[in-house]
Structure 1
Amino acid sequence: MQLRNDPAEGAILRLRAWGPGTDRVFEQAPKLLGSEDDRSTFKPQHDIIADAHRRNPGFRIGRTDRVLDALVPAILGQKIQSKLANESLRKLSWYFGERAPGPHKLWLQPTPERLAELPFHDWHRINVERKRATIIRRAAERANRIEECASMTPTDAARRLQAFAGIGPWTTARTLMPAIGDADSVMVGDFHLKNTVSWALAGEPRGTDERMLELLEPYAGHRGRVTMLLKMAGVKAPAYGPRLSHMHFEDR
């Protein structure tokens, strides 16, 4: 995708695609850009939210309709620093995925079949221990059930995902926002988010998941949108205590 601003015509998006999935990419493009994101009932009730909303008028929550592709990175991010999770995801695609068609040096995530059969020693190569590897493998074995979430309501999709061992509210929220455009997804159990929300909306430097949900209640239906706006605004709670160090699988 290439976006440019034309003085006469406004913003123009050019989309180019290669390979057997070309038709689907063009069909999905409006959804990726947030064409189904309904903001009509979103009413900022805090100055910081109103300001972030005003500064990001083009912000939309898109949807890929590819649930497993969103679920795998979410599982990799369980109980680990984002930097290491992203590193594992890159290596997963480089080592075990396929080269994407087209002129760019891009790699695809492994197919469900490849994920399901990948032995544990290969997961260890990319800094993923047996626990997370098992969760991904089991989800990949039932990829059809996972992908059915794309046609469900967010509530039903969350129930389906959480029927799988090792997939809880945090992983579900991380999956459903990009996969089905769920603007209400909240990452309950996140290390930082509860503090960020409590600080931004109540001036409290430390919060709990319960307090976070209480503060977000007026934004029901858009709670995930609020957390994204806070992120775009660069809001962070005051830092206390020691910082987490980056750990590799071999160090555990």
Structure 2
Amino acid sequence: MIPAASTGRRSERRWRPSAQLDLALTLSPHRRGGGDPAWRRTPDGAIWRTSRTPEGPGTLRVTAGHGEVHAQAWGPGAGWLLETLPSLLGADDDIAGFAAMLARLTRSDDPRQARAAAFVAGLAGRAAGLRIGRSLRVFEALAPAVLEQKVVGREAWRAWRFLLRRYGEPAPGPAPEGMYVVPPPEVWRAVPSWDWHRAGAEAVRARTIVNAARHAEKLEGTTTAASSEEADRLLRALPGIGVWTSAEVRQRAHGDPDAPSVGDFHLPAIVGYALTGQKTDDDGMLGLLEPFRGHRHRVVRLIELSGVRPPARGPRMAARDYRAF
């Protein structure tokens, strides 16, 4: 590890991962749709993120080349962002364990299981630089996940953009224009009802986020839970946080490779079709993923990246606009 070095108001760090790393694949789950004020990829290939760290707001710029990651950070949270950079980029991700699992499953006496494992192994080879990293910022992952509950993505992302631009603060440093830092919990608690309405978030999702903001400190503590199951239990103890939202948070903030998004509108059909050629439901998806326990979210992520989709039939789920109600 090359230690961080301070350059004026900018801090820098160079870090060499132990294996192949694809920055875009690894960091893209933190992007909340096109125009996310907290995430940007610039034409030079750099990825920019903002975060409200335990030390304050910060901006992170990350590039990679010749097997090395170069990170620059600005703002009060710069030191924290650089210190936790390896975790964000999946330094703790058990890739070797996943490879060993696939090798074992491809030798299974069950031909269906062996075929599924061989298929997943092929996907893993094509996305060899994918890592499941952890941001260690739970509320930042939870607020947009709640906005995404039971709505289409573009509806949730519109709300996210509105709330960050209205209540966030401009990103520190020379960040691309239009980047903002997620507001602190006390600001989320004070968002008036009319601005939730203007954002397009109805009262149920608004109440869930406001209540979570009241318990933000406890939420951040879930990153040190003894197990994935314990973190899930702690998150779901909050009203409005169910199995889907908990999984979405643990995937990003905890770096949990075994947190599949149960309850997703499209996911069971995609996973079922990829592994068997047939659509399925949540229970069927969990059954198909069971041999991969410990890495079920990773398998789902690889399937999503593969582009394999069942034939489209029927109408798409329509976006709703609560601002017109």
TM-score range for the pair, normalised by the shorter chain length: over 0.9
The match for 2:151 among 77, 80, 83 is: 80
Give the alignment of 1:38-57 within 5 angstroms: 38-42=94-98, 43-44=101-102, 45=106, 46=116, 47-57=118-128
State the match for 2:213 in structure 1.
Answer: 140
What does residue 262 of structure 2 align with? 188
Q: Give 1:214's aligned amino acid.
A: G
TM-score, with length taken from structure 1: 0.94
Answer yes or no: is 1:170 the counterpart of 2:170.
Answer: no
Aligned equivalents of 1:107, 1:92: Cα separation in 2: 10
Q: Report how far residue 251 of structure 1 moved.
A: 4.7
TM-score, normalised via structure 2 length: 0.74
2:77 alignment partner, one of 21, 36, 41: 21
CA distance in 1, matches of 2:259, 2:69: 28
1:12 to 51, 68, 93: 68
What is the count of residue pairs matched by the alignment?
247
Distance 1:238 1:176 in 2: 30
Alignment partner, residue 181 of structure 2 = 108
Alpha-carbon offset, residue 88 of structure 1: 1.1
Report the Cα offset of residue 145 of structure 1: 1.2
Are 1:3 and 1:11, in contact at CA under 8 Å, matched by a contact in 2? no
Quickly say closer, same or farther: Cα 1:2–1:164, change in 2 above 3 A: closer
- Aligned mates of 1:37, 1:220 — CA distance in 2: 15
Distance in 2, Cα, partners of 1:119 & 1:150: 30
Partner of 1:96: 167
AA in 2 matched with 1:19: G
- Select 1:124's aligned residue among 159, 181, 197: 197
Matches within 5 A, 1:211-222: 211-222=284-295
SS in 1 for 2:156: helix
The aligned amino acid for 2:210 is: R
In structure 2, stretches of 5+ residues that fail to align are 1-60, 107-115
Residue by residue over 1:155-199, the C-alpha shift from the partner in whole angstroms, topping out at 9 and shown as x without a partner, is 111101111111100000111011010000111111011111111
Q: How far apart are the structure 1 equivalents of 2:197 and 2:230? A: 33
Deviations 1:178-230 (A, max 9, x none): 101000011111101111111111111x2111100000000000000000001
Q: Is the 8 A contact 1:61 1:177 kept in 2?
A: yes
Aligned amino acid, residue 103 of structure 1: P
Pick closer, same or farther for the CA change 1:159–1:4 going to 2, 3 Å: closer
Q: Which moved more, 1:144-153 or 1:221-230?
A: 144-153
Structure 1 contact 135–165 (Cα < 8 Å) conserved: yes
- Larger RCO (alpha carbons 8 Å, 6+ apart): 1
- Indicate the percent of aligned positions where both proteins have the same amino acid: 40
CA distance in 1, matches of 2:193, 2:67: 47
2:280 counterpart residue number: 207
Cα offset for 1:239?
1.6
2:91 equivalent to 1:31: no
**Over aligned residues, Cα RMSD in angstroms?**
1.3
3-state SS, counterpart of residue 17 of structure 1:
strand
* Larger mean Cα displacement after TM superposition, 151-160 or 59-68: 151-160
Q: Distance in 2 between matches of 1:133 and 1:231?
A: 29
Ranges in structure 1 where 5+ consecutive residues have no aligned partner:
none
